Amino acid sequence: MDSHVQCRYHQCAMLKSIITKVNTVPSIFVHGHTASGKTLCIKRVLDQQELPHVLIHCAEFYTQKLIYEHILTQLNRTNQPAGKCEDMNSFVRLLHQTLKHERYTNTTAYLVFERAEKLRSLPANVLPALLRLKELSQSQVCVILESEIPWENFRQFPTGYREPITLHFSPYSKDDLIEILSSLVPDDTDKDFYTNYCHLIVNVFFTITRNLRELKYLANMNFKKYCEPVNTGAVAATNHRALWKAIEPQLKTAINSIYLHEMSSSQWEKVQAEDEGAIKLTDCNLKQSVELPYFSKYLLIAAYLASYNPAKSDRKFFVKNCGRLRKQTLTKNPDKTSNQIIGPKQFQLDRLMAIFYSIVEGKVMPTTHLYTQISNLVSLQLLATVSGESQFDSPKYKCLATLEFIQSVSRTVEFQILHYLHDFN
């Protein structure tokens, strides 16, 4: 098998020197950004040497038991679960037994943990024990951890970690990206023509993304359109300038919609087919009007006011005839930070209801419907509960809606929100 991984010669060589049939390294830590070829390199090296290994996607396993059982069944090469394995202790024991098998004599078994940062959410002993697995199980085993975050962030607890060998995968440079992309030339396409196209794609999108996967996706999505003038014969394949002129507006819309994946690929294809529909489609996807019941809107507005106004100012805004307010000595701090920047503050249910009753028009009975609307807003993630569940006599909330959203909601009920906000008065 070809062990050649583009633009990763250095890392591959490094891995090859560590990953051998019999090695002495207990653990390796590999980190680098998404789509920088970590898994690919490790798999290539392991496959090339035909070494026994188990790949573990940590995101899939929500308890340690599942991880252990997965590893043991894979190493045993059976479908039957290898007995109960609830904790690290029994795992180490069972692993030792498994690796006694003649298949594993004089061969190191490799355990590759993808997205190793998820291991941190497991009990505190798991990660240190995995790093010392070779020592603990007294067998030939090597743990490879693969993550997007550097090793420093793993050391939550100061003790018990055996430092692994770390290997960094630096992000691809622009030239690397072009090289890799142009190597993926589709069949029946001229290589130079495609390389040129890749240059163009990388140059346009390099400022927003360096993710290889994204660029690949973008290149695939737009290639058909790029070829169109050539296929119809309008432009010669070598006339790069004319081709660029033809594709430019398309790529500009792609920056806004495709990159954010606001459209699925099939929708994008549809849009390409009928050019004029492009703007329409993005519009209907973005502008989903929010419909809320009438009192829910007022509750939400009240919550927003409670979150962004200091409690002291409530008197000023909501008491209808508050008499003469004590004239404040105008020593306003010029650099007082706006509440909009600080973010929402928590408030009590009582305050919410008081504000609600002062802003809502007409008489509203405090029915159960009204109170269930609050929890409904929480489930819609427009409010968030701050207090714990034990504090049910005075629950506290926070408003999560943005000012823009609130403004659009208050416009529908003809409520002048800005008149009631402390920051704008």
> Cβ of residue 11: shortest distance to another protein, in angstroms?
21
Q: Which residue has the tokens 């180490």?
A: 92
Cβ proximity to another protein, 317 vs 357, nearer residue: 357
Cβ proximity to another protein, 20 vs 408, nearer residue: 408
Cβ proximity to another protein, 61 vs 223, nearer residue: 61
Give the pair of three-digit tokens for residue 257: 């919609």
> Cβ of residue 217: shortest distance to another protein, in angstroms?
7
CB 298 within 8 A of CB 414: no
> Cβ of residue 178: shortest distance to another protein, in angstroms?
20
> Cβ of residue 403: shortest distance to another protein, in angstroms?
15
Give the pair of three-digit tokens for residue 345: 């503050």
Contacts of 364 (CB under 8 A, 6+ apart): 295, 357, 370
Strand locations in 69-156 (E): 109-114, 141-147
Which residue type is seen at 98?
Answer: T
Cβ atoms < 10 Å from Cβ of 188: 5
Cβ proximity to another protein, 182 vs 296, nearer residue: 296
Residues pairing with 383 in the sheet: 399
Number of H helices, E strands in the chain: 18, 8
Residues pairing with 112 in the sheet: 55, 144
> Cβ of residue 397: shortest distance to another protein, in angstroms?
16
Cβ proximity to another protein, 250 vs 373, nearer residue: 373
Strands 27-32 and 165-169: parallel
What does the chain come to in residues? 425
Q: Which residue has the tokens 């529909």?
A: 277
> Cβ of residue 292: shortest distance to another protein, in angstroms?
6
Strands 27-32 and 141-147: parallel
> Cβ of residue 27: shortest distance to another protein, in angstroms?
23
> Cβ of residue 120: shortest distance to another protein, in angstroms?
12
Give the pair of three-digit tokens for residue 111: 């355990």
CB 238 within 8 A of CB 213: no
What sign for the dihedral angle of Cα 298, 303, 309, 315? positive
Cβ proximity to another protein, 142 vs 377, nearer residue: 377
CB 74 within 8 A of CB 111: no
Give the pair of three-digit tokens for residue 157: 């607890």
Cβ proximity to another protein, 69 vs 176, nearer residue: 69
CA atoms within 13 A on the CB side of 79: 0
Cβ proximity to another protein, 18 vs 349, nearer residue: 349
Contacts of 353 (CB under 8 A, 6+ apart): 302, 366
Contacts of 404 (CB under 8 A, 6+ apart): none
> Cβ of residue 379: shortest distance to another protein, in angstroms?
6
> Cβ of residue 110: shortest distance to another protein, in angstroms?
18
Cβ proximity to another protein, 14 vs 415, nearer residue: 415
Distance CA 228, CA 223 (A): 9
Give the residues lining the site for another protein (CB under 8 A). 34, 57, 59-63, 65-66, 69-70, 73, 79, 115, 118, 211, 213-214, 217, 260-262, 264-267, 285-286, 288-296, 365-370, 372-373, 376, 379-381, 393
Cβ proximity to another protein, 190 vs 361, nearer residue: 361
> Cβ of residue 232: shortest distance to another protein, in angstroms?
27
